[in-house]
Structure 1
Amino acid sequence: MATLLPALVTGLVLASSPAVRYSSAFRAETFVRTPGLAERADRSVLEDVVLTPRGQAILYTPRLELKGILEPQFMIRRTLSQPTLEVLTFFFLRGEYQLRRGLKVWAMESATYGTFPFEDFRVPAPVGDGGNRLLDANRYIYAETMAGFDLTSLRRTYIGAYVAYVINGLLDPPTTIRTRSETDRVTPAQYSVEVRAQAFHSFTRRFVMGLHLYGRSVDFSTGSHLSLLQATHVTQYQFHPLIQGKLEAGVAVGERLPQREEFSGLNPFLFHPMGEASLTVPVPVGYHWPVQAKLSARYLPFIGPFTTIVYPRLEESFGLEWKGRRQAQVNLEFALAQSVTQGFHKDDGEERVTLKIQWPLTRTSAVVASGRLLRLREFLISDDPLYKWFAGIELVIRQENGRL
């Protein structure tokens, strides 16, 4: 009894106090690439070095979980010729609380902020007299503020919803659109309120149906405004433990207010059918099937990044994924997209090939090789297709500690 009482008291103290688990990681990456759309360079191939430390902590009790991440990213552009330092800082904080069994409420705040000093990157910004001034540096931010709930107490049914406010773009954003300019290919900034709700019900272990609602109201720095509401019916069926199909069908309605006279002839009312079909199947390799292939096609409303015009676009993709032991992984994807409209964006689209290989070195480190080739057809900014590519290799080191 004398030895049992101290152990019981210690157990009660540990059970009532929050547990903490924390981890750290460091990523060093070097890659070669073509110049960006808004970047002027005297060479067709540039080289960069990216250093990224990361810290993460999770505090949790039986009902509460609080997770925080801080990740600064130091990018040394044109490392060998004209080194220029860019700094991005990523911050993430999410808390969730279990009100009762099967009902959680949560809130999240994430932000990515950076300042980019390009010597040849001239960004137009408005001034008080209605003109424009040119900036030698620009400040970028992507921030999300969300709050929502997840309900899983109903039998075989999931219901979830959230509301969010999103800021995406430069803090000194362009207020006009200048096309076919080598020094001004900056996309307008976006300020949007978003609402999402979804419900899924499992009729059997293999058959799931659901409804997905998504609405957003977006203000662009160019003065245009977009209101859009999407409703989608979702059906998932598992033909085999390794074969799964998914089908979505819905409609998007909304209104867009044009910001330029040459766009004033467009119908401000939007009505776009939308849908997606995908199939995931294994690819036989030897006596095992560790490779998964996914084929998907989507027809959806797409927002032109430069004109902010909404038009339907067809996207197809084919991907292969292999997962091995100790987080070894290989991903290969082929994707293409084509606009389905008339007018300014009738010939726009893109073709893309992406490859990523992750191979563990030890239990706490891995090497990652990645690359991408992009053929972009954005004829509002260029008469000819734009070819962009990058290839890089990185070393990732992870460490995790704490108590459960």
Structure 2
Amino acid sequence: MRTDPLRVALLGCGVVGSEVARIMTTHAADLAARVGAPVELAGIAVRRAGRERAGLDPELFTTDAGALVKRDDIDLVVEVIGGIEPARSLILEAMEHGASVVTANKALLAADGATLHAAAERYGVDLYYEASVAGAIPLIRPLRESLAGDKVERVLGIVNGTTNFVLDRMDTTGAGFSEALEEATALGYAEADPTADIEGFDAAAKAAILAGIAFHTRVTADDVYREGITEVTAADIAGAKEMGCVVKLLAICERSRDAATGEERVTARVHPAMVPLAHPLAGVRGAYNAVFVEAEAAGQLMFYGPGAGGAPTASAVLGDLVAVCRNRVAGGRGPGESAYAQLPVSPMGEVVTRYHVSLDVADRAGVLAQVASVFAEHGVSIDTVRQQGRDGEAKLVVVTHRATDAALSATVEELRRMDIVRGVAGIMRVEGE
């Protein structure tokens, strides 16, 4: 059993990296006791040298990340710089030189996780990434280890704090989208460029990672259907309230079966949805995250907590660091990639759910019957209809039973071509029932 110090290279010293370095420095004795050997910070790679970083030895810093990960004395590389390159090359270089890797890089894992896993297997090292999804919330490890003997059927979650904050403010204060986003930016929940959050890219990367682990299938960000929240309106929020729902940006990963062959498949999608107030996810407020897991034997599980920020994300990184260091001390490895199932990923058109459709129509006799006939022609069954009319115009709100996304899309396209339909004011899926 190893007792000499384990040496750690840190790539990046921003909000998360600086917090990782601080905890490693101030809690060194505790970490050593938990690992079974001392854990030392051997070097920190940054883009610009010379900045003073309180509490950290200036001698640790270097701008040559490539040289740092190639050092023979490095046992573990912690990557928190983000993005695809140079992170991918640095991680692969570190593994080739015998170092295990802890990363928070959701974009890289969702784009090319297979390459990283293959390299970890080839060189006999660990790849851990708890911090890549939902910050401090223990989620990856429960899916990868605690539920390894179970069959996960569905993962449904709020995995982006920025969008949850924006939608929550729109719901609770009546703020418009732009106003709520402005507030999120002022409070530090949204980046200066919030595109990755509000357009769903961040959540889609996380959905790919979750689906891959849950269903033992390689899923990339390109496999994930994605819609953001920029088109969510006050009318959508009001419509949800009338149904006893709230609007959330959800990441949904689930098993399904091909209608014709019965072949098992998986789907992964990110989009706004109306969630009934009775569902636990409806009560997730502010910038918090929560993930609802449904498994065959375990039943329904929910994981909740802060999903972003320096300290919460650093907590997840340090948890992985301790686990990897323990493996090194014991002379073993943790679990690698499990992609044996390789289930096909269904296109969005095959996804089955309910829909809330709001139409602006002419206020005259027979309109409802004509609209209903279009739904029926495409095999979309109507659950409820609400109609309000004034001055020759009317609002028709239709809530459907479960139908495929393709059937609903075909219905809406035909409705748009009808003279009696002035416009399709809104379409939103209803989930979590």
Place the TM-score, normalised by the shorter chain, in its bin: under 0.3
TM-score of the superposed pair, with normalisation by structure 1: 0.27
* Higher share in helix: 2
